Amino acid sequence: MKYVLSHLQRGLRLRFWMTLLMTAGLCFSSFLQSILQNLQQGSLFYQGYHNELIVQGLSSDILASFLPVLAAIPISAGYLEDIKSKFARFLILREDYSGYLMSQCLACWGCGGCAILLGGLTAWGITALIFSPLEQVVKDYVGIAPQIASQLLLVFLNGGLWAVVGMALSTVMESKYIAYISPFIVYYLLVILYERYFPDAWLLYPRNWLDPEIWPYGVGSAVVFLLELTFFSGLLFYFRGRRRLESL
């Protein structure tokens, strides 16, 4: 656990906070037009308006498109940076190969997911701060907190998945730049496969991975699916990374 925390501390640097702010900015950009239209029409802000805005932001196409790249920014290239700088030699003196690789993978998953999650929470907090005092009470209002929680959970898991995918593929290709590019490439390859060749294979479409309502067995089945993909990506990283460490 202490090694995981050590890698997490390395991940919580400028790139992490940049990712957080960019995620919040993408959320804002997705519902800015909706706010402007509301102001131009002189409509009142009804109760729960800020909650609907954040659901719109978290489920937007613009966030879904940039999420693979953003999630890889904090620490997906960290393993190769350790290898290139020979820093990994000193780390594996304190921990075994498996401990180092597993802690690196968990830290990458956590940083990638948390950067996106905290960006969404930041956008939610700001919209709540601005619009809550302006919202008019609605009789028999039904909150959408469970929907927001499901959306945030899927955003976190998607962020963690794409971060690990970037790290795994960069380890295979032995280029840290692949860590940032490969999630974007894989995302659009899956989109092309779904839209052009396999329109019935809805699991291929990464956009559906962010939609808690499309899953036949609820958000739990989405969680299991995303964790399985993350596990297999981590397994690829583990075997390739171990061979690379043994060659040092």
The model's pTM: 0.91
For residues 143 and 147, what is the distance between their CA atoms, to the nearest angstrom?
9
Residues 6+ apart with CB under 8 A from 147: 55, 212
Amino acid at 98: S
Residues 6+ apart with CB under 8 A from 93: none
Domain ranges of the chain: 2-246
Largest Cα separation within the chain, whole Å, is 67
Contact in structure between 180 and 80 (CB atoms under 8 Å): no
Contact in structure between 111 and 20 (CB atoms under 8 Å): no
Residue given tokens 């959306």 in the structure block: 151
What is the residue-level pLDDT of the chain in tens, covering all 248 positions?
A: 555 666 666 667 888 999 999 999 999 999 888 888 877 776 677 888 888 899 999 999 999 999 999 999 998 888 888 777 766 666 665 667 788 888 889 999 999 999 999 999 999 999 999 888 887 887 777 778 888 999 999 999 999 999 999 999 999 998 889 999 999 999 999 999 999 999 999 999 999 999 998 998 889 999 999 999 999 999 999 999 888 877 76
For residues 151 and 156, what is the distance between their CA atoms, to the nearest angstrom?
9
For residues 209 and 222, what is the distance between their CA atoms, to the nearest angstrom?
7
Nearest by Cα to 159 from 73, 53, 38, 36: 73
For residues 124 and 27, what is the distance between their CA atoms, to the nearest angstrom?
9
Kindly report the number of other CB atoms within 10 A of residue 70's CB atom: 25
For residues 32 and 245, what is the distance between their CA atoms, to the nearest angstrom?
48
